[in-house]
């Protein structure tokens, strides 16, 4: 398991010398970011439960940690499960919107699961519990997450894998700083090492391959700065 380092970015408290010299300090603007699941492609389906099991029913559990002490969870789709067949690619759907003031950062954990109609309350509880894993080191997070998701997987759900994003607002300039694998996945295409700008004509994207539960899925995530 490769190590990960998430940097913290701090803003200067004041710029008195710049003011005395008549130099305008940089504009530290807040940022609105839209995260999107661009595509989910099933290169191979998860292990069949029966001989008639010819499709998968994937869904997403999302935990958003930050800015500061904020925390939120999202279950996608909100009305249950998706349906996907071998070599099918599902179209785009919103993942989350985040507001970042200058100096803020946010981490987003995306777990992809399949099957087992578990109660939304239990799934939300697991997503909330994953915040404890997100505060650990990379190796500790990978070790703890199976325990966090055990109430779901023990009920019969397949766990395809989990990935984590880091987004920052540094003095008004916004970056997608990291796209990291947490469990049973690998990064195929990391996000570009440049700022996210409002005037960008296309969103920034990253692609990961998920390989849990006997399946192989390709997940493309996108980030766009709206303001």
Q: What is the pLDDT of residues 92-132, one digit of tens each?
A: 999 999 999 999 999 999 999 998 666 677 777 888 888 88
Work out the mean pLDDT of the chain and round it to a whole number.
87
Confidence of residue 2 (pLDDT cuts 50, 70, 90): very low
When pLDDT is averaged across residues 153-175 and rounded to a whole number, the result is 94
Give the pLDDT of residue 155: 87
Confidence of residue 167 (pLDDT cuts 50, 70, 90): very high
Distance between CA atoms of residues 117 and 152, nearest Å: 9
DSSP 3-state assignment of 131? Answer: helix
Least confident of 8-22, 38-52, 105-119: 8-22
Distance between CA atoms of residues 128 and 130, nearest Å: 5
DSSP 3-state assignment of 129? Answer: helix
When pLDDT is averaged across residues 210-224 and rounded to a whole number, the result is 97
Q: Which residue has the higher pLDDT, 76 or 13?
A: 76
Give the pLDDT of residue 185: 96
Q: Is the pLDDT of residue 21 over 60?
A: no
Confidence of residue 73 (pLDDT cuts 50, 70, 90): confident
Number of H helices, E strands in the chain: 4, 14
Backbone phi, then psi, for 9, in 5-degree steps?
-120, 125
CA distances, 156 to each of 145, 150, 217 (Å): 17, 10, 19
DSSP 3-state assignment of 73? Answer: strand
Q: Is the pLDDT of residue 19 over 70?
A: no
Give the closest residue to 205 by CA, choosing from 74, 95, 65: 95
**For residue 216, what are the β-bridge partners?**
44
When pLDDT is averaged across residues 65-76 and rounded to a whole number, the result is 90
Q: Is the pLDDT of residue 11 over 60?
A: no
Least confident of 62-76, 84-98, 185-199: 62-76
């Amino acid at each position: 398991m490769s190590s990960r380092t998430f940097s913290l970015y701090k803003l200067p408290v004041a710029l008195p010398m710049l003011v005395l010299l008549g130099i305008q300090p940089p504009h530290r603007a807040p940022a609105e970011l839209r995260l999107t699941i661009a595509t989910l492609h099933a290169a191979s389906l998860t292990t069949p439960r029966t001989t008639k099991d010819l499709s998968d029913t994937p869904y997403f559990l999302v935990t958003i940690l930050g800015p500061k002490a904020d925390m939120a969870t999202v279950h996608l789709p909100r009305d249950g499960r998706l349906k996907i067949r071998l070599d099918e690619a599902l179209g785009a759907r919103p993942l989350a919107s985040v507001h970042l003031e200058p100096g803020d950062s946010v981490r987003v954990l995306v777990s992809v699961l399949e099957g087992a109609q578990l109660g939304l309350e239990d799934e939300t509880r697991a997503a909330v519990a994953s915040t404890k894993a997100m505060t650990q080191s990379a190796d500790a997070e990978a070790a703890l997450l199976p325990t966090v998701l055990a109430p779901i997987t023990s009920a019969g759900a397949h766990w395809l894998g989990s990935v984590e994003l880091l987004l920052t607002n540094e003095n008004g300039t916004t970056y997608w700083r990291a796209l990291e694998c947490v469990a049973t996945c690998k990064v195929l295409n990391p996000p570009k090492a440049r700022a996210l700008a409002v005037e960008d004509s296309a969103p920034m994207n990253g692609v990961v391959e998920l390989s849990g539960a006997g399946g192989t899925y390709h997940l493309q995530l996108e980030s766009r700065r709206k303001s």
